[in-house]
Amino acid sequence: MYKLYYFPGNANLAPHMLLNEIGAAHELILVDCKANAQKSDAYLKVNPLGRVPTLLDDDLIVTEATAICLHLVDRHPEAGLAPSVGTAARAQFYQWMAYLTNTLQAELMTYFYPERLAQDAALAAHIKASAETRIGGMLDYIDNALEQNGGAALTGDRVSAADFYLLMLARWTRFFGKPARDYPFIGNHVRYLLERPAVQKTFAAEGIVTPLV
């Protein structure tokens, strides 16, 4: 049985949705980040980086949300959560996973933690506002891509792990001046994903309440 170390709504949300979409048996282990439990001696023995999430697959320890998602789609190809290896759609899937992680998620971290870049409060506020503007441009790009693809999914016409990852990041923008849900194609897409039983099960298990996105 998988074990997923999580904190509600954190980067574990995407792999957690995948576990439920796959129907894989798993145990959730809460890491209370509000109490800084991710830096506790006990958790650092599992994940020396002191970050959430971490997935235990028997003796294998996998960290980083994207790596966990890619591991799960490879372990469960029957679930169809990634296009076939070697296809153009698979290349696009890799592209989207990289973009969501390395570009959008990275900029969201700048938005949420501007003090990491500047101790001066006024400068941190400027960094935060600039990050929100850049994120808006990224959401425009994703929205246009979904429009070009008919709005069905980021890759092809079937939902993949990339779409669940997008839902997680879209949720993180819910208090923006223009959140992801207000973009026409992203908004329709995340509302469609929210209707999936696996997503509803995940949000309930993590105790996530409205606004969901």
pLDDT digits (tens, 9 = 90+) for 191-212: 999 999 999 999 999 999 999 9
Q: Is the Cβ–Cβ distance between 38 and 31 less than 8 Å?
A: yes
Q: What pTM was estimated for this model as a whole? A: 0.97
Predicted confidence at residue 156, as pLDDT, reads 82
Q: Is the Cβ–Cβ distance between 29 and 7 less than 8 Å?
A: no
Predicted confidence at residue 152, as pLDDT, reads 86
Predicted confidence at residue 151, as pLDDT, reads 87
Instruction: Give me the helix-helix angle, 161-172 and 65-75, nearest 10°.
Output: 150
Predicted confidence at residue 157, as pLDDT, reads 85
| Residues contacting 6, CB < 8 A, separation 6+ | 12, 16, 28, 29, 30, 31, 52, 53, 206
The DSSP bridge partners found for residue 57 are 60
Predicted confidence at residue 138, as pLDDT, reads 98
The DSSP bridge partners found for residue 62 are 55
Q: Is the Cβ–Cβ distance between 2 and 27 less than 8 Å?
A: yes
Predicted confidence at residue 67, as pLDDT, reads 98
Q: Distance between the two ends of the chain, CA-based, in angstroms? A: 30
User: Structural domains in the chain?
Assistant: 2-79 (3.40.30.10), 88-196 (1.20.1050.10)
Q: Which residues of the chain have pLDDT under 50?
A: none
Q: Where are the beta strands (DSSP E) in 26-113?
A: 26-30, 54-57, 60-63
Predicted confidence at residue 33, as pLDDT, reads 97
